Amino acid sequence: MNQGGVSDGITIADAIELMSRVTDLLIDDSLDSVSDDGLAEMMREWETTKRRQAAFEHKMIQQAKNRGLPEKAGLKDDVTKFLEQTLRLGHAEARARVNAAELLGVRQEGGQLVEPTLAWTAAVQEMGLVSADSARRIAKIMDRIPADIDPVQRDKAEIQLAYFATQSTPDDLPKVGDRILGHLDPDGTLTKEADRQRRRGITLGKQELDGMSAGTLSLTPIARALLDGVFAELARPGMCNPEDPESPWRAEGVEADVLEAAARRDNRSCAQRQHDALVALLRPEMGPANLGSHRGLPVSTIITMSLAEVEAAAGVATTASGGTVPMEEALVLAEKSKPFLAIFDHNGRPLHLGETKRLGNSAQRLALIAAERGCTRPGCSTPATLCQVHHVTEWSKGGLTDIENLTLACDACHSLIGDGPKKWKTVVMPEDSEHAGRIGWIAPAHIDPTRTPHVNDRHHAGELVAASLAKIRERRRPRSRAA
């Protein structure tokens, strides 16, 4: 494109006018004749196109700033206020667009055009691979990285986040970011233990006329990990329901059909179930020692850490409920715990633990918790405490109850697996795969026409470095730009 803003005889204004006419056509035309698969494909293509248009929006906002349009409108250098008035936007949306343009748009410094601050994120957004929401969340994570982190490590962190965003949803990014930050700052300089202890507390407000009390709490990682273990058992649907006289107050020794029936009668919200679970825990006859078992394991806090992390006493340990605990605190918590040693192969899968019966034993479940940390269906964030053991090759089809044929799946995702055209399938990824030995999920054709198996990296953020670095560089390196 030359300085006149013309390419192949078509100006930018012409292109926008053409887009307007095409949009009229899209709005007026009917979708009734489009097949289900065709509609799904259209939605994917449309989403990609909209994402790519964000790159042009960044360019316009930067151009407005470079030309001093806010000053000319009597708004000093307030680009946000300029967008609010010119485009009739709310302040929050206008501010978000300006922030995105500053980080993801080409900037002009000293008369020269320079790459975006977040060049890798800008690149994948320009390709239509990530949404504006994902880009904003990546920017927030990158902003938390200390200024003294090595630029190469900072660049690798953005590469990991950008690649992960092309494979998952924006909701997955904060947890991935926490793990990356934990690896970049294993000594906890982002938030020191003294800061966490200073912020800890539970505050109860004055009891109101109806007897209710509002409050706030700020939990340390250890307190959260301990409480998660209790909620995983006592806050399950059907448990500890004060409105149901037949609701069990502990699962130990209770028949499965009794729990299922109680769950069907349970109309409480998650917040209400957690409140009732805390009441149950504090009852004199209950207490942590009498909680029984949950999905075949004693109700307790399960923390996974590697030998290298223990030796270094740095980084973060992973809990079965999906949280993290600073390594120093995890080691303190482990002093009075019962340790288990799990040995994994070079693909991260637990070594052979065979069983001739249908149900996996507690040792196998512990191994799966350590290896997989949660539901293995791509995009699912359910932690291991809320998952069941699933046979990759079904027991009814000759699948063995061996650790190589077992994986974790939450109840909702497990119900998606089957033989019909609308069902998901699970497979062990082959040796020549970059995820060899891990469990891949194959989506039905209406979701993924290619039927390509994918793994869930949401619980394995620390293992994305090599794969994300290679793949993002294969797709595209940020272009060098000149004035």
Going residue by residue through the chain, which has 483 residues, state the pLDDT in tens, using 9 for 90 and above.
444 455 567 888 888 899 899 988 889 888 999 999 999 999 999 999 999 999 999 999 999 998 899 998 888 888 998 999 889 888 888 989 999 999 999 887 777 888 899 999 999 999 999 999 999 999 988 887 877 788 898 899 999 999 999 988 898 898 888 888 888 877 666 566 666 777 788 887 776 777 678 888 888 877 887 788 788 888 889 998 989 988 987 766 678 888 889 999 999 999 999 999 888 887 655 555 455 444 444 445 566 665 555 555 556 666 655 556 666 666 665 555 555 545 455 455 554 444 444 445 566 777 787 778 889 998 888 888 788 888 888 867 777 767 778 888 988 889 889 888 889 999 988 888 888 888 899 998 888 888 999 988 877 655 544 444 444 444 444 443 333
DSSP SS3 for 287: coil
Tell me, yes or no, whether 440 and 370 share the same domain: yes
In what helix (H) or strand (E) does residue 274 lie, and over which residues does it extend?
helix 270-282
Between CA 286 and CA 279 the distance in angstroms is: 10
Asked, for residue 218, whether it belongs to a domain, the answer is yes
Residue 26 lies in domain: 1-30
Tell me, yes or no, whether 394 and 474 share the same domain: no
Q: Are 277 and 230 in contact (CB under 8 A)?
A: yes
Asked, for residue 321, whether it belongs to a domain, the answer is no
First-to-last CA distance in the chain?
A: 12
Instruction: List, as one string, the DSSP characters of 303-315.
Output: EE--HHHHHHT-S
Name the residue type at position 409: A
Q: Are 368 and 402 in contact (CB under 8 A)?
A: no
Tell me, yes or no, whether 99 and 129 share the same domain: no
Give the pLDDT confidence score for residue 448 in this predicted structure: 85
C-alpha dihedral (259, 263, 265, 268), degrees to nearest 10: 140
Q: Are 442 and 377 in contact (CB under 8 A)?
A: no
Tell me, yes or no, whether 21 and 61 share the same domain: no
Domain final residue, candidates 292, 320, 350? 292
Asked, for residue 306, whether it belongs to a domain, the answer is no
pTM to 2 decimal places: 0.50
Q: Are 481 and 115 in contact (CB under 8 A)?
A: yes
Asked, for residue 341, whether it belongs to a domain, the answer is no
Would you say the C-alpha torsion 25, 29, 34, 40 has a positive or negative sign?
positive
Tell me, yes or no, whether 256 and 233 share the same domain: yes
Q: Are 424 and 417 in contact (CB under 8 A)?
A: yes
Q: How many domains does the chain have?
A: 5
Asked, for residue 298, whether it belongs to a domain, the answer is no
Give the pLDDT confidence score for residue 132 in this predicted structure: 92
Give the pLDDT confidence score for residue 326 in this predicted structure: 67
Tell me, yes or no, whether 7 and 42 share the same domain: no
Q: Are 135 and 104 in contact (CB under 8 A)?
A: yes
Residue 250: closest CA among 216, 207, 211, 298: 298
Asked, for residue 332, whether it belongs to a domain, the answer is no
Residue 458: closest CA among 163, 228, 183, 175: 175
Domain final residue, candidates 84, 114, 144? 114
> Would you state the structure tokens that stand for residue 251, as one six-digit string?
């699962």
Asked, for residue 343, whether it belongs to a domain, the answer is no
Name the residue type at position 243: E
Give the pLDDT confidence score for residue 287 in this predicted structure: 52
Between CA 72 and CA 174 the distance in angstroms is: 39
The burial class, CB within 10 Å (0-12 / 13-18 / 19+), for 13 is: exposed
Q: Are 373 and 318 in contact (CB under 8 A)?
A: yes
Burial 304-317 (b: 16+ CB within 10 A, else e): bbbeebeeeebbbb
Tell me, yes or no, whether 149 and 180 share the same domain: yes
CB count in 10 Å sphere of residue 212:
8
Between CA 427 and CA 405 the distance in angstroms is: 9
Tell me, yes or no, whether 24 and 108 share the same domain: no
Tell me, yes or no, whether 167 and 217 share the same domain: no
CB count in 10 Å sphere of residue 299:
22
Q: Token pair 């079904």 is at which residue?
A: 394
Give the pLDDT confidence score for residue 35 in this predicted structure: 92
Asked, for residue 152, whether it belongs to a domain, the answer is yes
Tell me, yes or no, whether 93 and 124 share the same domain: no
> Would you state the structure tokens that stand for residue 270, as one six-digit string?
């998650």
Tell me, yes or no, whether 87 and 135 share the same domain: no
C-alpha radius of gyration, the chain, whole number: 26
Between CA 482 and CA 332 the distance in angstroms is: 55
293 - beta bridge partners?
Answer: 298
User: Which phi and psi (to 5°) does residue 388 adopt?
Assistant: -110, 165
Q: Are 157 and 142 in contact (CB under 8 A)?
A: yes
Domain final residue, candidates 99, 114, 129? 114
Tell me, yes or no, whether 411 and 430 share the same domain: yes
Q: Token pair 């995009």 is at which residue?
A: 379
Instruction: Indicate the pairing of strand 201-204 with strand 215-218.
Output: antiparallel
